[in-house]
Amino acid sequence: MVFDEIFDVIVIGGGHAGCEAASAAARLGANTALLTLNLDLIGQMSCNPAIGGIGKGHLVREMDALGGIMGRVIDRTGIQFRLLNRSRGPAVQAPRAQADRTLYRVEMRRTLEATPNLSLRQGLVTDLLVNGNRIVGVELQDARRLAAQAVIVATGTFLNGKIHTGRKTYAGGRTGEPASTELPQSLRRLGFPVGRLKTGTPPRLDGRTIDWDAFEPQPPDKDPVPFSFSTDQIEQDQLNCFLAYTNESLHNKIRDNLHESPLYSGAIQGIGPRYCPSIEDKVVKFPEKTRHQLFVEPEGFNTNEVYLNGLSTSLPAQLQQEIVNLIPGMDDAQIIRPGYAIEYDFVDPRELTPFLETARIKGLFLAGQINGTTGYEEAGCQGLIAGINAGLLTTGREPFRIHREESYIGVLIDDLITQGVDEPYRMFTSRSEHRLSLRHDNADERLGPKGRELGLIGDSEWERFSQRRDRLAKVRRLLASKKIRRTDPAFAHLREVTGQELGDSINLGQLALRPNITVSEITKLLAEDEKLHLQPRDFETALADCLYAGYLESQDQTSRRLRQHDALAIPETLAFKAVGSLSHEMVERLERVKPRNFGDARKIPGLTPAALSNLLVYLTAQQFRPLNS
């Protein structure tokens, strides 16, 4: 085969997965090309201009600790930072930021252009070139052929994308951009099982036509918490967002016009995310709610465009306009881009290995929405892992696996490849069995050394990491060694605050577990010289360790007890009928999922404890059979 250009790694798609993938592969030393339909739209946020949130913010921090780029880019382009769940424990707090949509995109392209070994190319991929079961390159619409040992498909919603507004439908990958129709055929030809998912987006408004006084402002944090461990503080100005509400007359308008919605007319077949419902869904499924909350979000510093978060809809554009005008304060608001729903192809992620390589085609990786996920953060972290592994593969190194015990990224990948998806997959902290240990603030300790080992953490960041590690060690020692005694003047006050007996003396770490003890309460107990080099973020991290130490054991012990046989492998060839003592229904459930080990089987909904114990016994016996034959 004759090729126009030869690369080690080709990344198809310049969205959030593609950017991370290309950056990681290139920095691992692979000669990498990022192919996109439009070079001006690299790093485009197709939906809400925001990064982070509970679970998602954790993912960004983990990516950053491993050497990803999303955290740094948002830190430079965020217009409103907030740490969510401040009133709760540190394990469930997470940063979130509104982005300046344009600046984010520009900064992402700048970051990629500054990356050695990385070439940007504009073009539409029409075919995957395969030799036997190994990828060898891609073919473009303009007949160019590019060679690569590894190809990462990160095409988002573009595969057979179909946009709906009202009864009108048309092909498109995103509003204003064409869909990719030939690449999905190529994937089907290679034998990949392909399904349909759906997502949606709300209308964008002209900010000059909104009466801002009608809405309650939602101010940014005074002390914004950055996403990247390498960011000291957020430099740029911060803006307000605003809260708005729908009302009954708006709901009635929607109810009267449901037949116009492709969701309810049957035009949309794909399954949408339950946690990101359209306003039509909200009104229909929760008729008792008299109002739904909306967020009025500026799109950036240099634009009047406003994002009406919470009003995702696929109603006809004219109807969207009428509905928006029913919100008090938006009586004269003008829609400048209507909302829409989009259906797209995804590949069953059970086709993937933990390295995000397909088991079917060597060197072919899939990342992002193509694997059935939703969200920039979910896409980005898959891009990072796929990029790392493509880079490792093409530079002749062992693949990198990230585990669910150590990261949300690991949870996401494990869930995808073992359970598949039946709706767009989003991260929640409850998806992890180790929620208390997977905190956003300790992502660096969990994953930093791995990022360094991979070669994605540069010398200056590693120096930062080492310094923080040393400081943390010091703070932890202080918390363990410093005791408050009965004779201490603060003792009586602490007893009163906690409402508990504290014994004759208590160290700061134990004190942190007691009721009503806040970080500031503990800080007050430190001597001036102890406070001298204390950085608040280190202190919070060390205190969080104390807070959860006791529960980690309880959480882990139970999980360990329940999961002690999880690693037991299930042979691919096993016919579950052969297990015996399994009801027809249980066999069917097992056959459908085809679990790879006992742990996967345990997660199958509807499998009874008895069925599992039968399977366990059978697998145990199987393990020893080869010894005897």
Amino acid code (one letter) for 373? T
Whichever of 234 and 607 has its CB closer to other proteins, that residue is: 607
> Min. distance of Cβ 215 from other proteins in angstroms?
15
Give the single-character DSSP code of 246.
Answer: -
> Min. distance of Cβ 378 from other proteins in angstroms?
15
Q: Does 13 bind other proteins (CB under 8 A)?
A: no
Q: Does 551 bind other proteins (CB under 8 A)?
A: yes
The rounded distance, in Å, linking the Cα atoms of 525 and 512 is 12
Choice from 133, 318, 481, 516 touching other proteins (CB under 8 A): 516
User: For 504, phi and psi rounded to 5 degrees?
Assistant: -80, -30
> Min. distance of Cβ 581 from other proteins in angstroms?
4
Amino acid code (one letter) for 468? R
Site string for other proteins, 461-500 (x = CB under 8 A): ----------------------------------------
- Binding footprint of other proteins, residue count (CB under 8 A): 72
> Min. distance of Cβ 558 from other proteins in angstroms?
5
Amino acid code (one letter) for 163? I
Choice from 55, 137, 220, 420 touching other proteins (CB under 8 A): 55
Q: Does 549 bind other proteins (CB under 8 A)?
A: no
Cα–Cα nearest to 156, from 356, 422, 382, 409: 382
Q: Does 577 bind other proteins (CB under 8 A)?
A: no
Whichever of 117 and 312 has its CB closer to other proteins, that residue is: 312
Q: Does 3 bind other proteins (CB under 8 A)?
A: no
SS3 category, 3: coil
Number of residues assigned to the chain: 629
Whichever of 10 and 511 has its CB closer to other proteins, that residue is: 511
Q: Does 290 bind other proteins (CB under 8 A)?
A: no
The rounded distance, in Å, linking the Cα atoms of 477 and 489 is 23
> Min. distance of Cβ 231 from other proteins in angstroms?
23
Q: Does 105 bind other proteins (CB under 8 A)?
A: no
Choice from 273, 399, 449, 458 touching other proteins (CB under 8 A): 273
> Min. distance of Cβ 83 from other proteins in angstroms?
11
Q: Which of residues 291-330 bind other proteins (CB under 8 A)?
A: 292-293, 295, 309-310, 312
Choice from 116, 489, 503, 515 touching other proteins (CB under 8 A): 515
Q: Does 371 bind other proteins (CB under 8 A)?
A: no
Looking at 153-161, 280-288, 459-467, 588-596, which segment touches other proteins (CB under 8 A)?
Answer: 280-288
Distance of CA 113 to the CA centre of its chain: 24
Looking at 28-36, 122-130, 331-339, 556-564, which segment touches other proteins (CB under 8 A)?
Answer: 556-564
User: For 96, phi and psi rounded to 5 degrees?
Assistant: -140, 145
Whichever of 417 and 611 has its CB closer to other proteins, that residue is: 611
Choice from 133, 318, 467, 581 touching other proteins (CB under 8 A): 581
Choice from 360, 431, 464, 495 touching other proteins (CB under 8 A): 431
Q: Does 518 bind other proteins (CB under 8 A)?
A: no
Looking at 51-59, 331-339, 464-472, 524-532, which segment touches other proteins (CB under 8 A)?
Answer: 51-59
> Min. distance of Cβ 342 from other proteins in angstroms?
17
Q: Does 266 bind other proteins (CB under 8 A)?
A: no
Helix locations, 513-608, DSSP H: 519-524, 528-531, 536-563, 584-593, 598-602
> Min. distance of Cβ 218 from other proteins in angstroms?
9
Please count the other Cβ atoms lying within 10 Å of the Cβ belonging to residue 245: 15
> Min. distance of Cβ 24 from other proteins in angstroms?
29
Amino acid code (one letter) for 241? C
Whichever of 149 and 312 has its CB closer to other proteins, that residue is: 312
Choice from 501, 561, 572, 573 touching other proteins (CB under 8 A): 561
What is the DSSP pairing of strand 94-99 with strand 216-218? unpaired
The rounded distance, in Å, linking the Cα atoms of 188 and 570 is 28
Q: Residue 257: is it exposed, middle or buried by C-beta count within 10 angstroms (0-12/13-18/19+)? A: middle
Both tokens assigned to 479: 């918390």
Task: Identify each DSSP E strand in 300-452 by its residue range.
Answer: 305-309, 335-337, 340-347, 364-366
Cα–Cα nearest to 401, from 366, 447, 443: 447
Q: Do 450 and 67 touch, CB atoms closer than 8 A?
A: no
The rounded distance, in Å, linking the Cα atoms of 244 and 232 is 33
Q: What is the DSSP string of 479-515?
A: HHH-EEETTSTHHHHHHHHHTS---SEEEHHHHTTST
Give per-residue burial for 351-363: e unless 16+ CB within 10 Å, then b.
Answer: bbebbbbbeebbb
Looking at 47-55, 103-111, 117-125, 131-139, which segment touches other proteins (CB under 8 A)?
Answer: 47-55
The rounded distance, in Å, linking the Cα atoms of 343 and 272 is 9
Q: Which of residues 67-96 bind other proteins (CB under 8 A)?
A: 84-85, 88-89, 91-92
> Min. distance of Cβ 412 from other proteins in angstroms?
12
How far is the CA of 608 from the CAs of 389, 538, 615, in angstroms? Answer: 37, 45, 11
Q: Does 340 bind other proteins (CB under 8 A)?
A: no
Q: Which of residues 220-249 bind other proteins (CB under 8 A)?
A: none
> Min. distance of Cβ 460 from other proteins in angstroms?
34
| Helical packing angle, 317-324 and 248-256, nearest 10° | 160
The rounded distance, in Å, linking the Cα atoms of 95 and 75 is 11
Whichever of 114 and 567 has its CB closer to other proteins, that residue is: 567
